[in-house]
Structure 1
Amino acid sequence: MFNLRNAAVSPMNQLLVTLRYYATGCSQLTSGDFAGISYTTAHRVIHRVSNAIASLRPQYVSFPESQESIRKTQLQFYNIARFPKVLGAMDCTHVRIMSPGGMEAETYRNRKGYFSLNVQAICNADLEFTDIVARWPGSTHDSTIFNNCYRHALFEDRRYGDAVLLVDGGYPSKPYLLSPLENPITEEERLYNESQIRSRNTVERLFGCWKRRFPVLSLGINVKLNNTMAIIIATVVLHNILRKAGEDLPPDDPDLMLPAPWAALLGEGDITRGRLQDGQRKDAVRRALISNYFRSLV
């Protein structure tokens, strides 16, 4: 599948060239020089392998659909901090890209001032991606991405019953989107917030693990936009494969030359954290959960 003309580069070497690019964020020219191949060959190799890996997404990135998988996911989240009915934690993070050029290039510049794709992810309690959307410009608000995605339509159609997603305050309140209270007052409200934040933290940990494992996501993907999305999805697939195989979480690499500390790079997705006032929310489900469930735990 991967062989180029005259089988000049073996499939294994093509994979290694691609993985080196993901792991270092170097240019395709540098990746080619390291492997002893030309820039044009490295370019073809990296994008061909990335597309092949990305095509495995349906096999390795799947949202809970059966009753058994839904119950299993909800139990795993419940075991974190006793928050019920959670089907996933959702958030967005920014992946650096080079300027795509053209009349709409500035739509890809986010509030931090650099070009990016705003990538939406839903994860389970095992730090695995269960849903990924990687096509929106960096200036797009998190809630806009969700409102226009396939998963939103399914939740609106009540496909998942009373299951919920945990989100931060940048999302609107819906029966299936539960965010923390801005100003908790009562004991049950504080307990709700603690449980919600601890459970939702899985998606923040996922982003940290993913970007440490594939530094190209933080350093910047220096290829054309139509090739960037396949690289993002390919790293998601590889991350899930490693998680399912029980691979340890990657530590910080002190020898990796980063433009900013890891904490700053991993927090670059947190640019749309503006909270809506509680008085503007129609949050009957959240209020009922606090009154009927978390009050009983106090």
Structure 2
Amino acid sequence: MDPLLGELTDDEDFLELVRRHERLRRPQTVRFRPNNFEKWNDVDFKKRFRLAKPIVNYLIEEISDLIASKTNKNHALTPADMVFITVRFLATGCFLQSVDDISGVDKSTMSRVITKVTRAIASLSKDFIKMPMGVEDRNSKAQGFYNICRFPRCIGAVDCTHVKIQSPGGANAENYRNRKGFFSFNVQAICDSDLKISNIVCRWPGSTHDSMIFRNSRVKAEFENGVYGNNLLLGDSGYGVKPYLITPLANPTTRAENLFNEAQIRTRNPIERCFGVLKRRFPILATGIRLNVDKVEAIVVSATVLHNIACHFADPTPLVTDEIDGSQSGNKHWK
């Protein structure tokens, strides 16, 4: 048995071992890469990649210049190849099996491709993840929330969700263990009434309280500085009340107080639905990310960008089905 096998901790370690051994093997055999737009009908394409064909095609066009291979070697991966590898990974979370099955690429290439593409997609966040800055835009967002339960001036609902990761190891590993007992990032998001995410923060370990993340966020400072005028956010009781952050009343006693809480809870409900939609579209965020922690933020932000693009195109959220090949076996560690 190779002594290195005893040191493996995650998929990336495995890939490094593969790369070392490949130097001693025969020259690489190039494998056929299918055209996934032609291979799958619209229904099966959506099941496998969690996005409709026009959205994936749009994504390829948006980031091709950012990810195109600089080599002139024959059989270099095309931007389309790299995008399909990455969106399939986001759909399954299976790093070593199902992604390779549909792309005809050796496993030692996967980590580099996924890192490159998720960072490229995440770089689009400045265009696709943004708070409403102009008065007209803020009024439009506020009207959307007002239509839910007549709660005025709200331009966003804020909350946090845990994205499961493997143990990062090292002296600070326990900082990532959340109150439910598993390792995670605690990710803060703000969404509008249409479930589009307008702000995302993914850099805090799972043990961090929601209120701590908000206190240290840029968006909190922007509200403090009056960037959003007299508009406000809605949050749950885990947050402290601010003039711009409204939470439920702690001990409602009168009918008016109970009606206020009901309106507040119903109006902030989109953020809970948003997290559900995001994780159903990209199950890796629910089943777990088995990569180094320095790559988690790009994966989460890239999934958020794709979620917003899907919302823009009115692409229905796909159902979670057995068609996500490999997700059962590839993610059994997270059950």
Q: Does structure 2 retain, via aligned residues, the 8 Å contact 1:32–1:41? A: no
Q: Does 1:220 align with 2:285?
A: no
Partner of 1:3: 68
Q: Per-residue deviation at 1:67?
A: 0.5
Partner of 1:88: 156
Q: Summarize the alignment of residues 179-198 of structure 1 with structure 2, pairs less than 5 Å apart.
A: 179-198=247-266
Runs of 4+ in 1 over 3 A off after TM superposition: 254-259
Q: Per-residue deviation at 1:182?
A: 2.9
Greater Cα shift, 183-192 or 196-205: 183-192
Q: Does structure 1 retain, via aligned residues, the 8 Å contact 2:95–2:110? A: no
Question: What one-letter code is carried by the residue in structure 2 that aligns with 1:16?
Answer: F
SS at match of 2:158: strand
SS at match of 1:89: strand
Q: Summarize the alignment of residues 58-97 of structure 1 with structure 2, pairs less than 5 Å apart.
A: 58-97=126-165
What is the distance in 1 between the residues matched to 2:145 and 2:122? 27
Question: What one-letter code is carried by the residue in structure 1 that aligns with 2:68?
Answer: N
Q: Summarize the alignment of residues 92-131 of structure 1 with structure 2, pairs less than 5 Å apart.
A: 92-131=160-199
Structure-1-length-normalised TM-score: 0.83
SS at match of 2:202: strand
Q: Does structure 1 retain, via aligned residues, the 8 Å contact 2:93–2:287? A: yes
Q: 1:162 to 1:130 in 2, by over 3 A?
A: same
Question: What one-letter code is carried by the residue in structure 1 that aligns with 2:165?
Answer: I
Q: Per-residue deviation at 1:197?
A: 0.6
Q: Does 1:40 align with 2:99?
A: no
What is the distance in 2 between the residues matched to 1:191 and 1:162? 23
Q: Does structure 2 retain, via aligned residues, the 8 Å contact 1:142–1:171? A: yes
Structure-2-length-normalised TM-score: 0.74
Q: Does 1:199 align with 2:264?
A: no
Partner of 2:312: 244
Q: Does structure 2 retain, via aligned residues, the 8 Å contact 1:87–1:124? A: yes
Q: Does 1:208 align with 2:272?
A: no
Partner of 2:29: none
CA RMSD of aligned residues (A): 1.7
Partner of 2:232: 164
Q: Per-residue deviation at 1:59?
A: 0.5
Q: Per-residue deviation at 1:251?
A: 2.9
Q: Does structure 1 retain, via aligned residues, the 8 Å contact 2:186–2:202? A: yes
Greater Cα shift, 3-12 or 176-185: 3-12
Q: Per-residue deviation at 1:30?
A: 4.4
Partner of 1:232: 300
What is the distance in 1 between the residues matched to 2:204 and 2:198? 18
Partner of 2:95: 27
Please list every run of 5 or more consecutive structure 1 residues that lacks an aligned counterpart in the other structure: 260-264, 266-298
Q: Per-residue deviation at 1:117?
A: 0.3
Partner of 1:53: 121
Q: Does structure 2 retain, via aligned residues, the 8 Å contact 1:90–1:123? A: yes
Q: 1:158 to 1:258 in 2, by over 3 A?
A: farther
What is the distance in 2 between the residues matched to 1:242 and 1:30? 23
Question: What one-letter code is carried by the residue in structure 2 that aligns with 1:44?
Answer: R
Q: Does structure 1 retain, via aligned residues, the 8 Å contact 2:90–2:282? A: yes
